Amino acid sequence: MNIFAVMKSRLDAVLGGLMAAGKLPPGLDLARVSVEPPREAGMGDLTTNAAMVLAKPTGMAPKVLAELLVEALKGVEDVTAASTAGPGFINIQLNAAVWRGALLDVLKEGRAYGDSTTGAGEPVNIEYVSANPTGPMHVGHARGAVMGDVLARLLAKAGFAVTKEYYINDAGGQVDNVAAALRMRYLQALGRISEADVQGALERKEIQYGGAYLLPVAEALKTRDGDKWAEVNDPAAWIPPLRDFTVEYMMKLVREDLKDLGVHHDVFSSEKALVETGKVDDALKFLADAGLTYTGVLEPPKGKTPDDWEPRPQLLFKATQFGDEVDRPLKKSSGVGTYFASDIAYHKDKVDRGFKNLVNIWGADHGGYVKRVQAALKALTNGEGKLDVQLCQMVRVLNNGEPVKMSKRAGTFVTLRDLIDEVGKDVVRFIMLTRKNDAPLDFDYAKVMEKSRENPVFYVQYAHARGRSVFRHAATMFPQADLSDAGLAKADLSRLADVDEVALLRFLANWPRTVEAAALAHEPHRLAFYMYELASQFHGLWNKGNDATELRFLQADDAAVSLARLALVRGVGLVIASGLTVFGVEPLEEMR
């Protein structure tokens, strides 16, 4: 149960009553009325902006309206007092049992606390990672992978029907280039050419991918096919099979990496399959029938004309009709379809499968691509489809503040595999969520393993482990007590009287609305900050017992108060576990 949502609906009912009684004009829009925690603890339990938001539409002064509402709120269930403050805020006091009720909810629902039906089962398609199958996954992919995976879990928790999807770019020039590079490495594996030959080809730009990661792929090809491809010189004959071999091999590695990162996709969609089944042509025909394509010549980009630029007629999409700056090419001057054409077909395919609510997680280097895909989606759905693109900024990998660039495996960048091997999946996942995705992120090997408050993943886990530690002690101190969640729910929670205990109760009640807001805003990082704050409050309460021993959770001579406090400790642990579950991170029982 979300107390803030419940009180909002009761407030709406009060306002409705006032409208019906003619004390307020009928038909007021209540959407902007909010019920939130107050800024400071002394201001009461809840605060609402109703009087300020409704001042203009009612034509009443905020203070006058606030007085009217304060009067009307007095009879509302759980409200013990209400008062006006500041420019027209209404602060509301609630029956203390309401907050204790939140803790009972936590104990009853466990990690499911915070689940909601906000999404109403609406299908959402979330596409993430979608790394080209041309090499190992690196840190940038890791951020997108975690962001997408956790956003998907978060949306599911908020009641959406989520489909997690990976788009394999297994068509087009890039994969052909990898095939060419693989052929060089293959010839090297056969002993026909040397490492120097490969490097020479790289320098002359005859091949684009030369990383040593292709050596095992070449060995695998040799093992499977022997020297079968060494004598085949017609590219049309060797490119397709070598390309398919590489894609398959790379996708196997990608799937292994994702699995070890705890990332799972429901659907893998292939660009090649879209081309081969005619879906790209279908999509282009759809746009042509709508009169949204034409053959034309694009202007060169201003200020930065490529040296080899020359005007050429191409098939173009009228993206400018949907808010883009220029019309975008669907076919290269050679007549071959562009990546954009495939992507249109892919998004049309998503729409045809019943998704109107789409989310894509991309790297920031794709920022210039957002408008055209959104334009295409509008064209495909008559404006009904929604596409939210979340761009992930760069990840800088550091070690004690020093940039880390080299990877043992890939040569030029830090791979996802390196990260997992170095610090473990759970740490990688959590740290990736400690910034909003449109801000750059520093990933410092030393910092993320540090055991201090500076390291959020440690700090949150430590709070959880401390809570478990209390229970280990409680089991010996009160061997007769029922310390199960159901047993703790029977404790006399009115014994939680200290101001910080009550504050913690309130904060636990904030979890459902935090989850909901984070889900709707597509901002999973908010959960990381909530957990950090919760951990902070918990550590603070813990240490309050240093000075005031009567505030320690366990009181050997007072089982009743001990059980009430254990219920609170357990509630904190369960909410942390709830958050970590969304993050795909396992809460720790102890830190040793």
Partner RNA sequence: GAUCCCAUAGCUCAACUGGAUAGAGCAUCAGCCUUCUAAGCUGAGGGUUGCAGGUUCGAGUCCUGCUGGGAUCGCCA
> Is the CB of residue 564 less than 8 Å from the CB of residue 495?
yes
Nearer to RNA, 187 or 431 (CB): 431
Within residues 485-514, the interface with RNA by CB under 7 A covers 513
A 10 A CB-CB count for 80 gives 14
Distance CA 453, CA 221 (A): 50
Q: What are phi and psi of 455, to 5 degrees?
A: -105, 105
Distance CA 505, CA 455 (A): 25
Q: In the bound complex, what is the minimum distance in angstroms from residue 281's beta carbon to RNA?
A: 16
> Is the CB of residue 349 less than 8 Å from the CB of residue 277?
no
> Residue from 116, 381, 536, 581 that binds RNA (CB under 7 A)?
536
Within residues 391-410, the interface with RNA by CB under 7 A covers 391, 393-394
Nearby residues of 324 by Cβ (< 8 Å), 6 or more positions away: 371, 372, 375
Q: Does residue 205 belong to the site contacting RNA (CB under 7 A)?
A: no
3-state secondary structure of 454: coil
Q: In the bound complex, what is the minimum distance in angstroms from residue 465's beta carbon to RNA?
A: 4
Distance CA 384, CA 516 (A): 24
- List residues bridging with 359 in a β-sheet: 126, 388
Nearer to RNA, 202 or 370 (CB): 370
Q: Does residue 590 belong to the site contacting RNA (CB under 7 A)?
A: yes
Q: What are phi and psi of 14, to 5 degrees?
A: -60, -45
Q: Could you say which DSSP state residue 315 is in? A: E
Please choose, from the candidates 577, 571, 580, the residue with its C-alpha nearest in 3D space to the C-alpha of residue 108.
Answer: 571
> Residue from 9, 295, 320, 333 that binds RNA (CB under 7 A)?
333
Where do we find the tokens 């173009």? 316
Pick the stretch among 157-165, 166-174, 224-232, 485-493 that binds RNA (CB under 7 A): 166-174
Within residues 449-488, the interface with RNA by CB under 7 A covers 451-454, 458-459, 462, 465-466, 469-470, 472-473
Q: In the bound complex, what is the minimum distance in angstroms from residue 225's beta carbon to RNA?
A: 26
> Residue from 38, 411, 424, 487 that binds RNA (CB under 7 A)?
38
Residues 233-252: x/- map of binding to RNA (CB under 7 A)? --------------------
Within residues 339-358, the interface with RNA by CB under 7 A covers 339-340
Q: In the bound complex, what is the minimum distance in angstroms from residue 58's beta carbon to RNA?
A: 12
Pick the stretch among 71-79, 413-421, 488-496, 584-592 that binds RNA (CB under 7 A): 584-592
> Residue from 24, 45, 79, 89 that binds RNA (CB under 7 A)?
89
Q: Does residue 264 belong to the site contacting RNA (CB under 7 A)?
A: no
> Residue from 76, 80, 86, 260 that binds RNA (CB under 7 A)?
86
Within residues 277-316, the interface with RNA by CB under 7 A covers 297-298, 300-304, 306, 308-312, 314
Nearer to RNA, 141 or 222 (CB): 141
Q: In the bound complex, what is the minimum distance in angstroms from residue 375's beta carbon to RNA?
A: 12
Helical segments of 110-234, H only: 139-157, 173-189, 195-203, 214-225
Nearer to RNA, 189 or 395 (CB): 395
Token pair listed for 223? 């093992």
Q: In the bound complex, what is the minimum distance in angstroms from residue 154's beta carbon to RNA?
A: 12
Q: Does residue 127 belong to the site contacting RNA (CB under 7 A)?
A: no
> Residue from 81, 290, 336, 406 that binds RNA (CB under 7 A)?
336
Residues 364-393: x/- map of binding to RNA (CB under 7 A)? xxxxxxxx-------------------x-x
Q: In the bound complex, what is the minimum distance in angstroms from residue 149's beta carbon to RNA?
A: 19
Q: In the bound complex, what is the minimum distance in angstroms from residue 34's beta carbon to RNA?
A: 6
Nearer to RNA, 147 or 187 (CB): 147
Q: Does residue 171 belong to the site contacting RNA (CB under 7 A)?
A: yes
Token pair listed for 261? 């990162």
Size of interface with RNA, in residues (CB under 7 A): 102
Helical segments of 163-314, H only: 173-189, 195-203, 214-225, 235-260, 271-276, 279-289
Where do we find the tokens 């759905």? 381
Q: Does residue 57 belong to the site contacting RNA (CB under 7 A)?
A: no
Nearer to RNA, 286 or 529 (CB): 529
Nearer to RNA, 47 or 293 (CB): 47
Nearby residues of 94 by Cβ (< 8 Å), 6 or more positions away: 3, 7, 45, 46, 78, 79, 80
Q: In the bound complex, what is the minimum distance in angstroms from residue 32's beta carbon to RNA?
A: 7
Pick the stretch among 38-46, 107-115, 184-192, 485-493 that binds RNA (CB under 7 A): 38-46
Q: What are phi and psi of 209, to 5 degrees?
A: -115, 120
Nearer to RNA, 183 or 466 (CB): 466
Within residues 413-452, the interface with RNA by CB under 7 A covers 435-436, 438-442, 451-452
> Is the CB of residue 37 less than 8 Å from the CB of residue 46?
yes
Four-CA torsion 387, 393, 394, 398, nearest 10 degrees: -130
Q: In the bound complex, what is the minimum distance in angstroms from residue 47's beta carbon to RNA?
A: 3
Within residues 105-124, the interface with RNA by CB under 7 A covers none
The 3-class secondary structure across 481-541, one letter per residue, is CCCCHHHHCCCCHHHCCCHHHHHHHHHHHCHHHHHHHHHHHCCCHHHHHHHHHHHHHHHHH
Any idea how long the chain is?
Answer: 592
Q: With 0-12 CB in 10 A as exposed, 13-18 as middle and 19+ as buried, what is 447?
A: middle
Q: In the bound complex, what is the minimum distance in angstroms from residue 71's beta carbon to RNA?
A: 18
